[in-house]
Amino acid sequence: MPYLDHAATTPMLPEAIEAMTAQLGLLGNPSSLHRSGRAARRVVEEAREAMAQALGARPSEVVFTGGGTEADNLAIKGLYWSRRAEDDRRRRVLVSAVEHHAVLDSAQWLGEHEGAEIELLPVDRLGRVHPESLREALEREPHSAALVSVMWANNEVGTVQPIAELTQVARMYGVPIHSDAVQAIGQLPVDFAAAGLDAMTVTGHKIGGPIGVGVLLLGHDLTPVPVLHGGGQERDIRSGTLDTPAIAALAVAAELAVKRQPEHAERLIGLREDLIRRVVEVVPEAVLNGDPGPDLEARLPGNAHLSFPGCEGDALLMLLDARGIECSTGSACSAGIAQPSHVLLAMGQAEERARGSLRFSLGHTSTQADVDALVDAIGAVVERARRAGMKSGTKATDHAV
Amino acid sequence: MTSQNRPLRVLAAMSGGVDSAVAAARAAQAGHDVVGVHLALSSNPTSFRTGARGCCTLEDARDARRAADMIGIPFYVWDLAERFREDVIDDFVAEYAAGRTPNPCLRCNEKIKFAAVLDRALALGFDAVCTGHYAKIVETAGGDRELHRSADPDKDQSYVLGVLTAGQLAGAMFPLGESTKAAVRAEAARRGLAVAEKPDSHDICFIADGNTAGFLSGRLGEAPGEIIDHTGAVVGTHQGTHAFTIGQRRGLRIGTPAADGKPRYVLDISPVRRTVTVGPADMLDVDEVVGRKPRWCGPAPEGEVACSAQVRAHGAAVPARASLIGSELRIRLHRPARGVAPGQAIVLYDDTRVIGSATIAAAARTAA
């Protein structure tokens, strides 16, 4: 079954499953003081060191969380609260217009309930934030900025952000900068210290680890107000019993992802370019969204996001699903209803084009056969979806979108 | 079930209720290639169901998903909220504003379930849309498809399907036509469908609290006027003609009782003059009905046709004769019917077979 939705989640690495399984049968709360507790604690601390090593951080900068969304919430809310507590003028939260909802909605909530002023940093047609936009936004009123958050690479269209330049700008104004790097790890070289970031989100299940565990890397100067209060774990920043088996698996996955990143990126770029070229051959009106790259600085190696004029994304997805090909419309949903992607809208696309898009994402188990299967199916699928037309009732007339 | 010999690609509309769940299960069991779809029609899907009112909330979507899991079929959600709002809800409000009494379930079948959904399904390669309606499709020896009442007279929904054309019927599948509601619930329980015990949704699916008058006031505002009796005397006031329907007895705020002491009923509604006319029950009787926009389940009838006519969703059919004159359907009822409201449908039957339907435009009592 050709699975082309690795950006949503990817199979656990056998080594990670092994590490997790080994821990599942053991007993011990890492916070307990006795021998069983200390044994569990040791596994956690060794994992912490491994994470730090893999990501260019110090062990003391590693905060284990229940996943990427939780880490993003902790970063955005926790840092806003702590920064504002230090200086009440710091009300502005600057986030890119293409952030994942875990960042965007956290910021929006702060705006609606906590007196924050949310400023969306615009992106260009490729989905990229320009450092000049950040500079201009901070220059306007430097003392009022609480924090900045820009993802390392966009989960929908794959555009890589100029993190090094952005951190330089943030540093110039002394404003902490956070980056959601969940999609980048394992595909791009990611080094927390080298990047100059103050905070960074990592999650297990995008890199072959388990769902339900992640890390917020936090620079030493930062003490976010906790989202989770309780037993005081993770230096009081994130209370809750540490999930030893999941943490062990996460560390193994992170180590392997970072180690294999160069060859993995090269292999994925090969498959991705082949996929894009041949899909466009079959469907000449299909348009690639984001930076065409093809190199690492431009686009996530595994990401191919295309618009198919005259088709609804959910019709395309359903037709591909019926043929066993699994991908995503790349947009948020609650009741299973696709909304036009805020990322595509921020890139200046019309709603109809935004609705007619599919995201194909490759991962460590992807093969040439997956790409071939998609290429074989896409012609007939687009043909049918086009027959069903757009929800508005209009059929496609203008392909030059 | 229809006697289809080859497996069809079937789109099963699943509301999250027990009927559509069992219908989908039967279609799958009959060997068809079934895909379940929940139609998200509500513009406010976050509300949870309170008791038996309202439909198509997130909870309903989840119930539909779980039923699809149990049956073992793929499941998706189609967002038709905007179309539903335009074709059903806005039409509902406009009809009331015009002094008529609409039937939104009919409109939904006509414009959404067997139009928007059916069209999309056919375009995507499906052969039919399957629903949990209590109605039967019978294939004649000649290969025609006829719409008939269901085996359960209490649950028969052929009235709200009477608006379907032959083309629409060709793409419809009603697996519950031979069953009673009790049997369907029992089957749901046997199949392990959690919705076996779920109460049926009543009233209007998009008015969650059941307060139709309140909903309409919200949309149309209050337009007070007079309540007059059949002699023209003013007998009371009202806050908006949209709160009334022909034949209504309750909710009339009339100061003084009628001269004869008998209850008064709404005879006529005029939103333009903002008047509601009331009178005694026998003035409600009509035996001539004019219907517009006729739709036929098969070929249109020629000349005058003997039939039985049903004028409301839950009501007995009355023997009648109907003729199509131009695009107008004239029906003479052999016995008077009471409370025939413009905007409702008049559905014509030949015994259990649905001949067709029209929207009631006017009704009158011929002189004795």
A281 and A362 share a domain? yes
Give chain B as a 3 state SS string.
Answer: CCCCCCCCEEEEECCCCHHHHHHHHHHHHCCCEEEEEEEECCCCCCCCCCCCECCCCHHHHHHHHHHHHHHCCCEEEEECHHHHHHHHHHHHHHHHHCCCCCCHHHHHHHHHHHHHHHHHHHHCCCCEEECCCCCEEEECCCCCEEEECCCCCCCCCHHHHCCCCHHHHHCEECCCCCCCHHHHHHHHHHCCCHHHHCCCCECCCCCCCCCHHHHHHHHHCCCCEEEEECCCCEEEEECCHHHCCCCCCCCCCECCCCCCCCCEEEEEEECCCCEEEEEEHHHHEEEEEEEEEEEECCCCCCCEEEEEEECCCCCCCEEEEEEEECCEEEEEEEEEEECCCECEEEEEEECCEEEEEEEEEEEECCCC
Question: Cβ contact (<8 Å) for B124 and A385?
Answer: yes
pLDDT at B53: 53
A52 and A160 share a domain? yes
ipTM for the predicted complex comes to: 0.84
Q: Is residue A285 part of a domain?
A: yes
Give how far Cα A371 sits from Cα of A277, A303, A320, B12, Å: 11, 12, 13, 31
Residue ranges covered by each domain of chain B: 9-197, 223-368
A118 and A190 share a domain? yes
pTM for this prediction: 0.88
Q: Which residues contact B327 (CB under 8 A, 6 or more apart)?
A: B292, B293, B294
pLDDT at A30: 97
Q: Is residue A6 part of a domain?
A: no
CATH number for the domain spanning A381: value is 3.90.1150.10
Whether omega before A294 lies within 30 degrees of 0, making that bond cis, reads: yes
Domain ranges, residue A145: 14-256
Q: Is residue A131 part of a domain?
A: yes
Q: How confident is the model at residue A333 (pLDDT cuts 50, 70, 90)?
A: low
Question: Cβ contact (<8 Å) for B120 and A388?
Answer: yes
Give percent above pLDDT 70 in chain B. Answer: 95
A84 and A192 share a domain? yes
Q: Which of A209, A231, A256 is the last residue of a domain?
A: A256
What's the rounded Cα separation, in Å, for the pair B345 and B219?
A: 24
For residue range B287-343, list pLDDT tens digits in order: 999 999 999 998 888 889 999 999 988 888 999 999 999 889 999 999 999 889 999
pLDDT at B300: 87
Which chain A residues touch B123 with a CB distance below 8 Å? 384, 387-389
A215 and A319 share a domain? no
Question: Cβ contact (<8 Å) for A391 and B82?
Answer: yes
pLDDT at A80: 98
pLDDT at A331: 59
What's the rounded Cα separation, in Å, for the pair A107 and A72?
A: 10
Question: Cβ contact (<8 Å) for A336 and B123?
Answer: no
Among the ranges A75-79, B109-113, B359-363, which has the highest mean pLDDT value? Answer: A75-79
CATH number for the domain spanning A199: value is 3.40.640.10
Q: Which residues of B109-142 are buried (b: 16+ CB within 10 A; e: fewer)?
A: bbbbbbbbbbbbbbebebbbbbbbbbbbbeeeee
Q: Which of A203, A233, A256 is the last residue of a domain?
A: A256
Cross-strand bridge partners of residue A215 = A64, A202
Q: Write out the DSSP string of A26-61.
A: ----TT-SSHHHHHHHHHHHHHHHHHHHHHT--GGG
Q: Is residue A8 part of a domain?
A: no
- Chain A interface test: which of B14, B38, B76, B127 (most A C-beta within 10 Å): B76
What's the rounded Cα separation, in Å, for the pair B45 and B79?
A: 11
Which chain A residues touch B35 with a CB distance below 8 Å? 318, 322
What are all long-range contacts of B359-362, with beta carbons under 8 Å and residues at least 24 apart?
A: B359/B291, B359/B292, B359/B293, B360/B289, B360/B290, B360/B291, B360/B311, B361/B290, B361/B291, B361/B292, B361/B328, B362/B289, B362/B290
How many CB atoms sit inside 10 A of residue A226's CB?
A: 20
A188 and A331 share a domain? no
Residue A335: is its pLDDT beyond 70? no
Which chain A residues touch B120 with a CB distance below 8 Å? 315, 388
How many CB atoms sit inside 10 A of residue A117's CB?
A: 15
Question: Cβ contact (<8 Å) for A388 and B61?
Answer: no
So which residues of B are the catalytic ones?
Answer: 108, 205
Q: In total, how many domains does chain A have?
A: 2
Q: Is residue A1 part of a domain?
A: no
Q: Is residue A149 part of a domain?
A: yes
User: Token pair 């069992």 is at which residue?
Assistant: B22
Q: Is residue A396 part of a domain?
A: no
pLDDT at B47: 54
Pairing type for strands A287-288 and A92-96 reads: unpaired
- Chain B interface test: which of A387, A390, A394, A395 (most B C-beta within 10 Å): A387
pLDDT at B59: 82
End-to-end CA distance of chain A: 32
Q: Is residue A397 part of a domain?
A: no
A294 and A226 share a domain? no
Residues A314, A341 contacting (CB under 8 angstroms): no
How many CB atoms sit inside 10 A of residue B147's CB?
A: 27
User: What is the Cα gyration radius of chain B?
Assistant: 21
Residue B22: is its pLDDT beyond 70? yes
Confirm or reject CATH 3.30.750.24 for domain B223-368, answering yes or no. Answer: no
Q: A 18-77 residues with CB below 8 A of B?
A: none
What's the rounded Cα separation, in Å, for the pair A203 and A188?
A: 15
A333 tagged catalytic:
yes
A272 and A246 share a domain? no
Tokens of B198: 């779920």
Q: Which of A256, A282, A297 is the last residue of a domain?
A: A256
| Candidate from A318, A337, A385 with C-beta closest to B79 | A337
The CATH architecture to which B9-197 belongs is 3-Layer(aba) Sandwich (3.40)
A237 and A319 share a domain? no
Q: Which residue has the higher pLDDT, B236 or A383?
A: A383
Tokens of B332: 């003479």
How close is the nearest chain A Cα to the Cα of B64, in Å?
12
A171 and A296 share a domain? no
pLDDT at A203: 98
